[in-house]
Structure 1
């Protein structure tokens, strides 16, 4: 299984990557995951702010509607 990942060297022995190479690869994967997570957080924050804005607009619309003297049934209030 691992022989296909690490081709044989001139002596025919499998060559394992160095500790430094594995460490760099792990750091690179961690960095990519971190950036992906940060992008996801940015998308979630924008969605939350859009939701808040839409709720704010609905609240303002309802207040204006009620301030103009129309009740829940759509009839003018006395």
Structure 2
């Protein structure tokens, strides 16, 4: 069984601010507000959530190779 990582560092593409966040295991996170510049991050086309687009670790469903959680 694969160990699932539940923490990911989100990095804002606008200002470069990075913060470690806990990932939900039961839902995708479609929006994230940067605490530094207040930009609203949304997933890039083809990604299911902000963690897959801007995180250091992909979301739990992708880690488990279950496909998109959205």
After TM superposition, the score normalised by the length of structure 1 is 0.21
Normalized per residue, the structure richer in strand is 2
Normalized per residue, the structure richer in helix is 1
After TM superposition, the score normalised by the length of structure 2 is 0.23
Which protein shows a greater Rg? 1
Highest relative contact order (Cα 8 Å, sep 6+), 1 or 2?
2
